[in-house]
Chains A and B, each alone.
Chain A
Amino acid sequence: MDISKLTDVKKVDLCKKYFLIGACFLPLIWVVNSFWFFSDAFCKPVNNHRRQIRKYVIGSIIGSIFWIIVLCSWEIFFQYYRSQGLVWTDFLTFVFPTGRV
């Protein structure tokens, strides 16, 4: 759907809903939220609604960055120990590629 045709009130509502849904361990929703409402939050003249959208977008951006850092550090940690061949990493491996010939 095209948000440029929505009223400001509806935009705030949608942004808020996306923000709240993203708070349930769903950082991808936050990423989408920040991209989608970015121009509305920062590139347009400011009024009351825009301030709220800005608040949510900033929250989404911070949340996404936080989750990205968490995921990356976990992955690095995991791969480091996996390369050492520890047993517990085998339980958490998703797929065992057999490599190419």
Chain B
Amino acid sequence: MSSNRDPPDGGGTVTETLTTYGTNLISNRSRPEEENQVEEAELKYGASHVIHLFVPVSLCMALVVFTMNTITFYSQNNGRHLLYTPFVKETDSIVEKGLMSLGNALVMLCVVVFMTVLLIVFYKYKFYKLIHGWLIISSFLLLFLFTTIYVQEVLKSFDVSPSAVTILFALGNYGVLGMMCIHWKGPLRLQQFYLITMSALMALVFIKYLPEWTVWFVLFVISVWDLVAVLTPKGPLRYLVETAQERNEPIFPALIYSSGVLYPYVLVTALENPEESRTTSEQPATTEAAPSTSAGNTGFAPGLQSDSKRTAVKRIPQKVQVEEAPPAARNQPQNVRIERRTPAVQLEHLNYPRHDDYQEERGVKLGLGDFIFYSVLLGKASSYFDWNTTIACYVAILIGLCFTLVLLAVFKRALPALPISIFSGLIFYFCTRWIITPFVTFVSQNSFLY
């Protein structure tokens, strides 16, 4: 078996024993056949997870589009801007606008790079508590502050006015439940719901506070950064992946969305002796603590599950400027990994008893940064109230996601999920906006077709 498919740790030697045992069992059959079957099973397994990822991505995007269309608050700038997009002078000259947007995008990129490096330094020197604290603060802010603002705008839009007592009570409940679901234990669906809503909120904040042209430049630049950071040998995210792999640990309570398919870790552990199985049954404690990360790291970057959003302290936007640090999720979680259940697939035929205690979540995981940027793209496209562009971008993003997941199944390593989708989304957006829509308008006005 290739090293990618090593079963998760239960201890180094045990792993090796099991691996060897597994291999021995299979070597009886003809190798290429068995390999083919395994490949096929993996691809099918991967394909079902493509579908599993479509739903949350679509839901997040739908939420953003719906909000953009019904609540005008998020499509207006109100003259405020983020600290990280300093060039906001009003001009009519295209060249100036272009240069300013490029400047803004580069400033954002620098901030993102800085945050990534900071995170890697923390991770390298094992300041886990600091990272945990950072995550907790950022999700706290998102859950309470941003949600309050959102609820306020929704109430204004729908012309409803409950009492402050009710609203604050409800928001407090919502926030506490969110913290519990994300950082501790909670029903899977609820956790997924919270992650989706947080991503949507984040995307809405971006759409609101980034100037017009800057959004497109930022998307482009961040996708390029993602590509570079994950794939180049010296890339920071790759370093993160490899370090996490070496250490064999999932650390952060992930702000990574998992399709959440749980498989009993099963067949490999069933072959262990009873002492081992008792020790591995302690592991679920850590699994539970980090529900959307896999306890054992099947050769893929579990550390990337740590990739999470970093939001620094955000001041209440009453002043002229809204300060906000971009989430780290932009850089890190833009990777998609698939956890292999290869050992289970191979040994399943042999009907080993299941060891139910040891759980592991397997499945495709997509970082929240990916959700956010897809939603930003689509939300911005829909803010011009042209359904042609919105739907074209949506289809482009999903196709890009499919393609990325296919590549994932082929290459079997952490891949950046942003570039393909964002590039195709951008191409489709501009083509549709400048070519298709005028064409369709002209044709329908002159009654050629419609």
Contact = CB atoms under 8 A, between A and B. Distances in A.
Contacts of B186: 1, 32
Interface residues of A, number: 32
A27 B155 CA distance: 22
Contact of B166 (A6, A21, A74, A97): A74
B156 interface: yes
A33 to B, nearest CB: 10
A14 B185 contact: yes
B165 A92 contact: yes
Contacts of A93: 161, 163-164
B155 A97 contact: yes
Contacts of B155: 94-95, 97
Interface stretch (B40-48, B172-180, B310-318): B172-180
Classify chain B: how many residues form its interface, as a range: 35 or more
B165 to A, nearest CB: 6
Contacts of A45: none
Contact of B163 (A14, A78, A98, A100): A78
A83 B160 CA distance: 12
Contact of A74 (B152, B163, B191): B163
B169 A1 contact: no
B353 interface: no
Interface in A57-101: 71, 74-75, 78-79, 82, 89, 92-100
Contacts of A94: 152, 155, 161-164, 167-168
A79 B187 CA distance: 35
Contacts of A1: 185-188, 191, 287-288, 291
Interface in B259-300: 260, 262, 264, 284, 287-288, 291
A36 interface: yes
Contacts of B169: 25, 71
A82 B166 CA distance: 14
B173 A95 contact: no
Contacts of A2: 188, 260, 262, 359
20 contacts: A1-B185, A21-B176, A25-B169, A26-B172, A26-B173, A26-B176, A26-B177, A28-B176, A78-B165, A78-B166, A79-B162, A82-B163, A93-B161, A94-B161, A94-B164, A94-B168, A95-B152, A95-B161, A97-B155, A97-B158
Interface of B: 152, 155-170, 172-174, 176-177, 180, 185-188, 190-191, 260, 262, 264, 284, 287-288, 291, 356-357, 359
Interface of A: 1-3, 5-7, 14, 21, 25-29, 32, 35-36, 71, 74-75, 78-79, 82, 89, 92-100
